[in-house]
Chain A
Amino acid sequence: MRKWKYISPLVALGLWQLLAMVGVLGRTPSPVDVAEGFYDLIVTGLPPGYYLQWHLLASLERVLVGFAFALVLAVPLGILMGWSRGFDTVMDPLVEVVRPVPPLAWLPLAVIWFGIGIFSAAFMIFLGAFFPILLNTITGVKSVDPHLVEAARTLGARRRAILLRVLTPGAMPSIITGVRIGIGIGWMTLVAAEMTGVKSGYGLGYLILTARDIARYDIVVAGMVVIGVVGFLMDRLVKYAEKRLLGWM
């Protein structure tokens, strides 16, 4: 089956071009138009002088900053909530009330709090990535076999050692699943977050909005393709890291 792995995008692409050539897609750009859009983005840039690679880098930077904050806060909080029933009971209602609010609904507040620089976009990523990581960490900790904890305790392990050397590694597969989902949602959120405008003038979401404003739908789709491919690569990267990190399991 391996050789069939990339057949679905190729078939979709072919079908898309075919439908465009038959003329049923109307004003939707065809893959060939999109390729031309890519060419313009790389050679001329949009706005002229603002090239694709810098748009991509700006977006990646925002994602990394927001994601790093989410990771640093969500994992310890998740471990504590998974470990202590009391703490979980206290925190759970707060988490469950804030969690369903879509990151985009925070946008107006984010702009007053953080302006239009990197931190308002990073804040949206943070919100998108935080909850999947948190919830998966909690689940991961709770799913560690209690016998393992008992055994460690019998062998004289202190609370600190149990937390760091039994529960955290035990929860790792679940945490990484959370990371995968979190970074994916963060990436999706980012593009929307950039659509209000960004101070630097760079970003993939910003690029798409600019292209829409001047009716360059080929560039709109080119931007979408970049977002899709980068999202795919990020997911692969986390998967690869998972294999390396959890080789012992």
Chain B
Amino acid sequence: MRLKRVQEGGCGRPRRLPGGTLATIVLAIMVLALITPGCGKKESTNVVKVGYLRSDLHQLAYYVAREKGFFTEEGLDVKEGGVFNAGPEEMSAFSAGELDMGYVGSAPAVTFAAQDMVDIQIVAQVNAAGSSIVVRSGLEAGDVSALKGRTVAVPGHSTVQDFLLRLALKEAVLEENEINIITLKPPETIAALGSGQVDAFVAWEPYPQIAVVQNAGWVLENSSEIWPHHPCCVLVVDRDFASRNPDTVRRFVAAHVKATQYINDNPLEAADMGHLFTGQDSDAVEAAMGNIEFVYKLNVEGLERYVEFLKEIGVVKVESAESFCDTLIDQQFLPREN
């Protein structure tokens, strides 16, 4: 084995940069920055770059609309702009201008909009309910108050699941500092639950049911028992895209509505499709489907309540939750009710 001795600092005296190099670099950066935004101008289009979350059963409507050809029926050319592991990643893609529309959780949509990181509008609901508190196997618990002194994982600070947990704690007359709340992404959570690293977790479907199928844990409470019909995933659109292509957005929403109705009308087939979409165990998916409300009508009041919570814990700084939601939510693309 020949090994080179690792040298430090290169050899000899450091050389000077040739005069003007720095100035050239700075100039080049500035020129690039100035010309880049100019390239983005587009005509009205039927091409939609859409983002969604991997294995998130809540977003089944996207898969159904795609597989059943509902987008094509509306004359849309839907391109996958990105598949993400977490909502914040998808929101970053929005802020980089990579996506036109997206299926995403309320939490990243609201927080990123409130921090001015993205300029989006929420145009339809994707689902309500659909999360659960899961306790590890072997741990007895009559209700949430049994979690006192335990470690509970949420998918992210200030997420809808975090809020649900806090609501449940309040219900059980537990203070937040009486349990140890940590952040773990759902795929890691099941392993951590199985090995006893965490005592419970709150996550969206199908993770709770996967934990059940794998005998890692059992469902203590479904989120609909904590907060009935609470809003969860939403359909968002880049504001600029919506103003240039209102008709395209309307047709996309129409396909989404159709897919949502299809799921509710054909639960068995929808469960099969959920299995294909998430790649997860079909028993887990079937059980999880029963816990999710697939809806397209926006739960404005629920979103306002959630924004109010974010405001209280200091995550978003908005004057009033109501006026913030007014600007963020746009219901004009949804079909008119008769």
Assess whether B116 is interfacial by the CB under 8 Å rule: yes
* Interface size of A in residues (CB-CB distance below 8 Å): 44
Interface pair A24/B30, CB less than 8 Å apart: yes
Count contacts between A and B, CB distance < 8 Å. Answer: 109
Closest to A212 in B: B88
Interface pair A181/B197, CB less than 8 Å apart: no
Interface pair A198/B1, CB less than 8 Å apart: no
Distance in angstroms between the alpha carbons of A42 and B297 in the assembled complex: 42
Given contacts A213-B108, A214-B158, contact A199 B1 (CB under 8 A): no
Instruction: Decide if the interface of chain A is mainly helix, strand, loop or mixed.
Output: helix
Chain B hits for A46, CB < 8 A: 157
Distance in angstroms between the alpha carbons of A235 and B314 in the assembled complex: 37
Counting chain B residues whose Cβ lies within 8 A of the other chain, the interface size class is: 35 or more
Chain A hits for B156, CB < 8 A: 210, 213-214
Within 8 A of B (CB), among A118-155: 132, 135-136, 138-139, 142-143
Distance in angstroms between the alpha carbons of A213 and B310 in the assembled complex: 13
Supply 14 further A-B pairs (C-beta < 8 A) apart from A135-B6, A214-B156.
A19-B29, A24-B30, A24-B33, A47-B158, A88-B1, A112-B191, A117-B197, A174-B6, A199-B198, A201-B182, A206-B183, A213-B86, A213-B157, A213-B158
Shortest Cβ distance from residue A153 to the other chain B in the assembled complex, whole angstroms: 24
Interface pair A177/B6, CB less than 8 Å apart: yes
Chain A hits for B1, CB < 8 A: 88, 92, 96, 138
Shortest Cβ distance from residue A27 to the other chain B in the assembled complex, whole angstroms: 6
Interface pair B157/A142, CB less than 8 Å apart: no
Assess whether A15 is interfacial by the CB under 8 Å rule: yes
Question: What are 10 A-B pairs at a CB distance below 8 A?
Answer: A46-B157, A47-B158, A115-B192, A138-B3, A177-B8, A197-B183, A210-B156, A213-B88, A213-B159, A214-B315
**Complex interface bits, A199-224 against B, C-beta within 8 A gives 1, otherwise 0:** 11100001001101111110000000
Binding site for A on B (CB under 8 A): 1, 3-6, 8, 26, 29-30, 33-34, 86, 88, 91-92, 95, 108, 111-112, 114-117, 151, 153, 156-159, 180-185, 188, 191-192, 195, 197-198, 313-315
Interface pair A181/B112, CB less than 8 Å apart: no
Q: Which of A88, A92, A197 contacts B184 (CB 8 A)?
A: A197
Given contacts A115-B195, A201-B180, contact A215 B88 (CB under 8 A): yes
Interface pair B157/A174, CB less than 8 Å apart: no
Interface pair B6/A197, CB less than 8 Å apart: no
